Structure 1
Amino acid sequence: MDIENWWPLLDSSTQKWLINNNGDVVPSSTLSQIIAQAGHPTADTSWVGSNVPEEFYLSDEATDWIEKIANDEPSVSE
């Protein structure tokens, strides 16, 4: 599932955290909320960035998308 699909399913506090901390390590509690809406990420999931033990990052594509949302810019799908 793409970020455009699961983003509106997140609660507002999670969205706010992702906007305010865009590009940072995603805490496990936030990742759990994303997975609850988007399903477990696979190797070809577009919103998955670098993944090392104990750290999860969103992809550059997802980070850029969130930045557009934060700046009230229309997304590609709009």
Structure 2
Amino acid sequence: MNIETWWPKVTADSREWLLDHASEPVEPSVRADILSVTAVADGSTWDGSGSEEGEFELTDRTVDWIEAVANGETPIF
């Protein structure tokens, strides 16, 4: 599931956190929120991946999308 689909389904708190921290590893509570709306147990299809440190990170495409939203732009990807 891509970000365009799950973005409006996560909580406002999760969206705010993502807007403020898009390029950082995803906070566990935000990851849980995303997984709750995508129903993907490992997160592999929601534009994220595990890092070597065991943290969960967003793909470059997803970070670019979030940064466009944060800048008041219309994300087109």
Number of aligned residues: 75
- Report the CA distance between 1:4 and its aligned residue: 0.4
Q: What is the RMSD computed on CA atoms of the aligned residues?
A: 1.7
Residue in 2 that maps onto 1:70: 70
- Report the CA distance between 1:53 and its aligned residue: 5.0
What TM-score, normalized by structure 1, do the two folds share? Answer: 0.83
What TM-score, normalized by structure 2, do the two folds share? Answer: 0.84
Residue in 2 that maps onto 1:32: 32
Cα deviation 1:20-69 (Å, max 9, x = unaligned): 01110111111000001122223xx2611443353100000100000011
Q: What aligned pairs does 1:41-60 form with structure 2 within 5 A after superposition?
A: 41-42=43-44, 45=45, 47-52=47-52, 54-60=54-60
Contact 1:48/1:58 (CA < 8 Å) preserved in 2? yes
Unaligned runs of 5+ residues in structure 2 are none
Moved over 2 A (4+): 49-54
Contact 1:68/1:74 (CA < 8 Å) preserved in 2? yes
Unaligned runs of 5+ residues in structure 1 are none
